[in-house]
């Protein structure tokens, strides 16, 4: 064991050896921070500079609202929710509506009316014009309370009205003034986000040295860089998951403090309502020796001729006043959970047996996400190091980012619910299963890697059965070794082959027994007994559902607007004259993720691979991924419908194929010394990746029911004001 002096000396030698590189990194870091500070001070605070010369005029003397007992504050009430000012005859640059900051925070929708030199009366939208839009103002966000009006000449009359539907009155107001200088506000989060974006621009610039660092030639440096980059990625995206605190289900004295028990370091609590506790309730049932939920269905549901008819269920619920559980399987007088059982066995049942409490689902999604990112990176590293000769660190990191961030998992951590958990775990098991398979192909102890890899792949069936199609990758990965080279017919080969198949057999027997014990059929997972918006027992398969799904999943253009986050749910129309199961979606992946456009050149790129290599493993993987992606999308459409979270079922397949095609293209361009073309290739990939990642990130901030924008809209307004600094 080294002494402390030896360790210090070793570190000193390393620092001295890399002195120039460390100084360069420090210099670049300081420059990035300086530019981010300049942006924050002079650009993002532009309203401070534009308003610093304003002459403020207070309108408090004209406010005709009731006041608090001490006469210090004004009160908006349901019957008195507007204030008007006449005879102003002043040019108005901005309007400062100063709400009392110590009242309960809420987000208000305000409608501003004014008359000016171009309008003698209040004006609004017409067939050919768009009037002053409604605007969101948070009572606890000072920046949102400065409104910059675009008037013509002097303003004579002004009206401010609260038009929100759900307002907790009274709303307390301190004052209203016009032409008010806006104070300077340094936003630390915005500063660090700007610094991060600038750092990424610098690191991935076309002339960056990371494109000259080949990972096969510089294994230590590249591995260290990949580990650091992956760690930063996990930390940043984990922060996003915990930002949606209303869905996390854990509380401390400073986090979700309203649900803190007052003495524990951390405690758990239920989120999402009764429907969201399915996995936790199944864990309780299993602990008590049964497979159906302990809650008894109402008698009217038991007596129904067809309990899967939602309209009939809702009518009887209205008549009797007895509620039923929604989105659970109902069979033979009992409620069941039709979602995969592996998450229960992995998280909920052990947690309940140890603590007697419900496992917080969001933590399971978070752990699955971390496992997915680590496994995804390890798998990509395995392909890049052992199947390609000229992959640079820059290209690796450039493609690893969209492989993670555009795969649909960001939407799963936006809504870390029990709907997201089985998909996330299935993806995590898949990437680690494939990684173990890949390690086994080059290992002397292949049987161990095959055993662990196949166990991971088989457990996917207990999470998200659709993703079992990833197991088809066994054909391109093992065909040559076991069939062409006849390794299967050796003693060692037979042992390895058994290790590949045995976990599937064991897991299959367990799941089939579980299904048979519940529904009397080893192949029935219970999804067709689901109490949902349509009768799943009668859903069947209809080819007419394919085209709307293919369009929504792959080809639909996104709907955009001029207000952050600039992406909106798409419209949906169809000529399918039947019931379509559809939740909001935001555009097809082939349109919204330009990094996938390389798939259009698959044939030509694969043709080079066939000529360049004697083995066709990578080409086979690409083909299987592309076919499997289409198959899974169509299966989702038939079995369940068109939902945004289902994008995670198949997007990773297309992204994986795109990444491998990019690696092949890089090999071709560097092998034949086409330097100019290779630089163009890197520049194009950089743009395509940037647009794809930007779309995926913005999608995470679209306001939706159940997310923080709905539960804590005033907190969401902080994000809006941080981004739309010019308003």
Q: Is 580 helix (H, G, I), strand (E, B) or coil?
A: coil
Q: Is 137 helix (H, G, I), strand (E, B) or coil?
A: strand
Residues 285 and 401 in one domain: no
Residues 152 and 214 in one domain: no
Torsion (CA) 325, 330, 332, 338 in degrees, nearest 10: -130
- For residue 549, tell me if it sits in a domain: yes
- For residue 211, tell me if it sits in a domain: yes
- For residue 50, tell me if it sits in a domain: no
Residue ending a domain, among 312, 339, 359, is 359
Residues 212 and 318 in one domain: no
Per-residue buried b or exposed e for 450-483, using 16+ beta carbons within 10 Å of the residue's own CB: bbbbbbbbbbbbbbbbbbbbbbbbbebbbebbbe
Residues 131 and 151 in one domain: yes
- For residue 52, tell me if it sits in a domain: no
Q: What is the C-alpha separation between 100 and 248, in angstroms, rounded? A: 30
Q: What pLDDT shows up at residue 12? A: 58
Q: What is the C-alpha separation between 275 and 272, in angstroms, rounded? A: 7
Q: What pLDDT shows up at residue 13? A: 55
Residues 162 and 227 in one domain: no
Domains identified in the chain, total number: 4
Q: Which domain holds residue 276?
A: 249-359
Helices (H), 640-712: 647-671, 675-699, 708-711
The closest alpha carbon to 172, from 99, 106, 261, belongs to: 99
Q: What is the pTM of this model?
A: 0.93
Q: What pLDDT shows up at residue 54? A: 95
Residues 312 and 449 in one domain: no
Q: What is the C-alpha separation between 482 and 473, in angstroms, rounded? A: 14
Residue tagged 């924008």 (tokens): 709
User: What's 32-78 look like in SS3?
Assistant: HHHHHHHHHHHHCCHHHHHHCCCCCEECHHHCCCEECCCCCCEEEEC
The closest alpha carbon to 302, from 640, 531, 514, belongs to: 531
Residue ending a domain, among 309, 336, 359, is 359
Q: What pLDDT shows up at residue 11? A: 54
Q: What pLDDT shows up at residue 151? A: 93
CATH code: domain of residue 71: 2.60.120
Close Cβ partners of 627 (under 8 Å, ≥ 6 residues apart): none
Q: What pLDDT shows up at residue 669? A: 87
Q: What is the C-alpha separation between 452 and 654, in angstroms, rounded? A: 25
Residues 382 and 453 in one domain: yes
Residue tagged 């930002």 (tokens): 243
Residues 118 and 266 in one domain: no
Residues 523 and 618 in one domain: yes
Cα-only R_g, the chain? 30
- For residue 441, tell me if it sits in a domain: yes
Q: What pLDDT shows up at residue 670? A: 82
Residues 266 and 230 in one domain: no
Give per-residue pLDDT as tens, 628-668: 999 999 999 988 889 999 999 999 999 999 999 999 999 88
- For residue 285, tell me if it sits in a domain: yes
Give per-residue pLDDT as tens, 438-479: 999 988 889 999 999 999 999 999 999 999 999 999 999 999
Residues 390 and 519 in one domain: yes
Q: What pLDDT shows up at residue 47? A: 96
- For residue 51, tell me if it sits in a domain: no
Contact 552, 634 (CB under 8 A): no
Residues 568 and 428 in one domain: yes
The stretches in the chain having pLDDT less than 50 are none
Close Cβ partners of 611 (under 8 Å, ≥ 6 residues apart): none
Residue ending a domain, among 359, 386, 415, is 359
DSSP assignments along 375-435, one per residue: HHHHHHHHHHHHH-S--BHHHHHHHHHHHHHTSSHHHHHHS-STTHHHHHHHHHHHHHHHH
Per-residue buried b or exposed e for 276-293, using 16+ beta carbons within 10 Å of the residue's own CB: bbbbbbbbbbbeeeebbb
């Amino acid at each position: 064991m080294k002494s402390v002096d030896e360790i210090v000396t070793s570190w000193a030698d390393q620092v001295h050896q890399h002195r120039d590189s460390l100084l360069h990194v420090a210099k670049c870091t300081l420059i990035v921070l300086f530019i981010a500070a300049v942006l924050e001070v002079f650009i993002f605070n532009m309203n401070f500079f534009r308003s610093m010369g304003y002459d403020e005029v207070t309108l408090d003397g004209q406010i005709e609202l009731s006041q608090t007992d001490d006469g210090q504050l004004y009160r908006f009430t349901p019957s008195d929710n507007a204030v008007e000012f006449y005879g102003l005859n002043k040019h108005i640059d901005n309007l400062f509506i100063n709400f009392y900051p110590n009242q309960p925070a809420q987000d208000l929708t305000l409608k501003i009316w004014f008359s000016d030199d171009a309008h003698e009366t209040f004006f609004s939208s017409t067939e050919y014009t768009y009037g002053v839009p409604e605007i969101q103002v948070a009572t606890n966000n000072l920046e949102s309370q400065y409104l910059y009006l675009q008037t013509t000449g002097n303003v004579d009359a002004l009206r401010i009205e609260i038009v929100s539907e759900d307002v907790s009155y009274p709303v307390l107001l301190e004052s209203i003034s016009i032409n008010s200088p806006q104070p300077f506000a340094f936003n630390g989060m915005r500063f660090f986000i700007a610094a991060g974006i600038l750092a990424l621009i610098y690191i991935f610039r076309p002339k960056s040295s990371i494109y000259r660092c080949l990972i096969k030639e510089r294994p230590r440096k590249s591995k260290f860089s990949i580990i650091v980059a992956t760690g930063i990625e996990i930390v940043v995206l984990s922060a996003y998951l915990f930002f949606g605190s209303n869905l996390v289900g854990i509380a401390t004295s400073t986090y979700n403090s309203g649900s803190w028990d007052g003495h524990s370091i951390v405690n758990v609590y239920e989120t999402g309502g009764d429907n969201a506790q399915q996995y936790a309730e199944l864990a309780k049932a299993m602990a008590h020796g049964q497979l159906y939920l302990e809650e008894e269905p109402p008698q009217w549901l038991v007596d129904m001729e067809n309990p899967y008819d939602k309209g009939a269920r809702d009518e009887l619920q209205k008549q009797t006043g007895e509620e039923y559980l929604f989105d659970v399987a109902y069979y033979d007088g009992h409620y069941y959970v039709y979602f995969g059982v592996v998450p229960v066995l992995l998280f909920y049942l052990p947690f309940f047996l140890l603590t007697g409490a419900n496992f917080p689902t969001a933590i399971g999604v978070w752990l699955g996400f971390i496992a997915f990112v680590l496994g995804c990176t390890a798998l990509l590293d395995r392909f890049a190091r052992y199947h390609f000769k000229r992959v640079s660190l820059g290209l690796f990191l450039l493609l690893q980012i969209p492989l993670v961030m555009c795969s649909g998992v960001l939407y799963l951590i936006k809504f870390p619910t029990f709907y997201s958990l089985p998909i996330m775990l299935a993806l995590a098991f898949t990437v680690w299963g494939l990684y173990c398979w890949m390690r086994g192909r080059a290992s002397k102890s292949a049987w161990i890697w095959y055993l662990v890899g196949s166990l991971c792949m088989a457990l996917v069936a207990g999470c998200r059965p659709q993703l079992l199609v990833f197991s088809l990758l066994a054909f391109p990965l093992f065909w040559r070794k076991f069939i062409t080279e006849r390794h299967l017919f050796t003693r060692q080969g037979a042992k390895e082959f058994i290790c590949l198949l045995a976990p599937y057999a064991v897991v299959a027997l367990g799941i089939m027994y579980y299904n048979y014990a519940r529904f009397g059929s080893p192949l029935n997972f219970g999804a067709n007994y689901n109490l949902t918006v349509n009768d799943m027992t009668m859903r069947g398969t209809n080819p007419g559902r394919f085209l709307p799904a293919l369009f929504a999943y792959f080809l639909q253009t996104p709907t955009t607007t001029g207000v952050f986050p600039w992406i909106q749910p798409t419209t949906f129309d169809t000529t399918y004259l039947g019931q379509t199961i559809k939740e909001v979606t935001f555009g097809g992946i082939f349109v919204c993720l330009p990094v996938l456009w390389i798939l259009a050149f698959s044939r030509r790129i694969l043709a080079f691979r066939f000529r360049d290599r004697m083995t066709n493993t990578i080409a086979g993987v690409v083909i299987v991924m592309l076919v499997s992606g289409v198959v899974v999308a169509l299966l989702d459409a038939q079995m369940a419908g068109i939902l945004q979270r289902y994008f995670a079922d198949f997007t990773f397949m297309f992204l994986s194929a795109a990444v491998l095609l990019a690696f092949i293209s890089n090999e071709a361009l560097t092998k034949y010394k086409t330097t100019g073309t290779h630089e163009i290739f890197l520049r194009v990939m950089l743009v395509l990746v940037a647009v794809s990642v930007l779309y995926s990130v913005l999608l995470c901030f679209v306001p939706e029911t159940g997310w923080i924008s709905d539960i804590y809209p005033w907190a969401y307004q902080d994000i809006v004001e941080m981004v739309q600094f010019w308003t």
